[in-house]
Chain A
Amino acid sequence: MIIGSILISIGISVGFLLGTGLILAALLILAEKRILNYGACCIDINDGEKKLQVPGGGSLLSSLAENNIFIPSACGGRGTCAYCKVQVTEGGSMIGPVEEPYLGPEERKKQIRLSCQVKIRKDIKIRVPKELLSVRKYRGKLLHKRPLTYDIVELRIELVEPKTIDFIAGQYIQLESEEYDGHDRVMRAYSMSSLPSDKNHVELMIRKVPSGICTTWVFEHLGEGQEVTFSGPYGKFHISDTDAEIIFIAGGSGMAPIWSMLRDLREKGNERKATYFFGALTQRDLFFVDELTRLQQEVSWFKFVPALSNEPAGSDWEGERGLITDVVARYMPDCSKHEAYLCGSPGMIDACIKVLKKGGMTEDRIFYDKFA
């Protein structure tokens, strides 16, 4: 009798819990289907240039990514990196508390939004830079990883899927690191140093950032033969279509886009004069000096000026000494007819812009790619 009543009460409680669980689960599933069903929505990109039909309810960033339009994003849609800004001209939701701190008054006036925080509930109209429409996600295999200096490596990646990439010299890709030691996957931007005509390879120059999540992964965990994923090409940094004499200034891994541009110029039979100022601390920070010197000998239009700022006074270095800004000022006292292409840290770029302006260059002739 006692066992019987115990069994009954166990039965009642199990049945009750099971029933409650099932009813509530069914209710939630039904609600999600019914309440959160926004139907198919249309994303209109650049006033009808491209129209996408997507299921409503997702974020703008992920809906675009599903249709192979990749807005640059480093945090993966959590609203912390503020890279994924796009202009939403119609149909955007209210600005939420997550976005609030990242949008200035100017951006609000232009209807700029974080695409990861915009939820698609109805037809929506957005504007994105044209080159973003050709961004793809790539899978590749790492062929070589070779050290250029003690803290810079060069990666050569063979494209597997898709097999080719079309880009303009100076553009960058976003490399995706894999999970390791408790770090999530992250995306970081690196300029391509390879030739645009070498369509099934991509080369990158990566400088080790102390405790950087992605660079530590590249230096310590990424091995030759391993699969890598990235998206691209991004960026508006490229050589303009004029005849003005070119000044390149870059140090360290900032050489990547310049190296691509120089080889691209040579391949296209360029006649424009160009000078490359390569700033480094000491001789151990220099790389590709032989290659660049050879290029200088091969073509008449190119001049290579490496300069060291911290080289010990009595060393065997015969090139220029001093801060790269001083060297540029010495070589180019009047640069009002030139165009400048800079790549490097924000501090170095701002210093160079100051020197170039002093030499008579207007700001619309200075193009740069700042490493953030």
Chain B
Amino acid sequence: MNLQNMNFFVSLVLIFTSAAFTDNILLARFLGMCSCLAISKKVDTSIGLGSAVIFVTASTSAINFLVYKYILLPLGIEYLRLITFIVIIAAFVQLLEMIIERFSEKLYYALGIFLPLITVNCAILGISLFMLNKPYTFWQAFAFGAGGGFGWFLAITLVGGIREKIKENELPGGLEGPAITLIIIGIMALAFVGFSGMIKI
């Protein structure tokens, strides 16, 4: 499929879906694993962290797209994108945490306390870097970021649900905690690999 010839909204929906399902950042690319292992013990916290990731990936992919297109490219220093994106994401997350903490206590306890965890999350950086591989426009990059975040949210919530269900079951000592979680993620990744290639853009 050719993005340029497609209806604008159709392209956004396609990009969002492919980023969320066929190219799931957690299950197909195995990024953002550390916070996923640490926080996926319960569904509530998984949803909290997942929502924070959606918000941050969507916003930072938009910001980073603008910085890349209007500052790095014209100056001919696109090789600095990695370090630039890291700094921008970290600063954005810190700022966001402060704002949320100041203005909404409810939102802070639902989302804000997870923000320090994703300051240096590789999934978020990964999404900002992957979007540069395709000739996206601003809104398409935004859709890619939001879709990638949604995919991560979906994956960690599923893992959280499964972990909650198996909490009562007895496991061999060596498999407890992160070990069984990695096995679960591996099996789920198999399922998500089945989606791959369904949407080619």
Contact = CB atoms under 8 A, between A and B. Distances in A.
A binds B: yes
B140 to A, nearest CB: 25
B102 A36 contact: yes
A14 to B, nearest CB: 10
A94 B109 contact: yes
A62 B143 CA distance: 44
Secondary structure call for the A interface: helix
B84 interface: yes
A21 B76 CA distance: 19
B106 A24 contact: no
A28 B109 contact: no
Given A12-B75, A35-B98, A97-B45, A28 B80 contact: no
A134 B149 CA distance: 53
A13 interface: yes
B91 A28 contact: yes
B88 A24 contact: yes
B71 interface: yes
A31 interface: yes
Contacts, number: 46
Question: Which of A16, A27, A32 has the most chain B CB atoms inside 10 A of its CB?
Answer: A16
A21 B88 CA distance: 9
Nearest to A95: B109
Contacts of A97: 45, 109, 113
A310 interface: no
A9 interface: yes
Secondary structure call for the B interface: helix
Given A16-B71, A94-B106, A27 B87 contact: no
Contacts of A36: 98, 101-102
A31 B105 CA distance: 18
A31 B80 CA distance: 26
Given A20-B84, A35-B102, A93-B105, A13 B95 contact: no
Interface in B52-100: 71, 75-77, 80, 83-84, 87-88, 91, 94-95, 98-99
A17 interface: yes
A358 B29 CA distance: 68
Contacts of A96: 109, 113
Interface in A27-50: 27-28, 31-32, 35-36
Contacts of B45: 97
A200 to B, nearest CB: 46
A93 B84 CA distance: 36
21 contacts: A9-B76, A12-B77, A16-B71, A16-B75, A16-B80, A16-B84, A20-B84, A24-B88, A24-B91, A27-B91, A27-B95, A28-B95, A35-B98, A35-B99, A35-B102, A36-B101, A94-B105, A94-B106, A97-B45, A97-B109, A97-B113
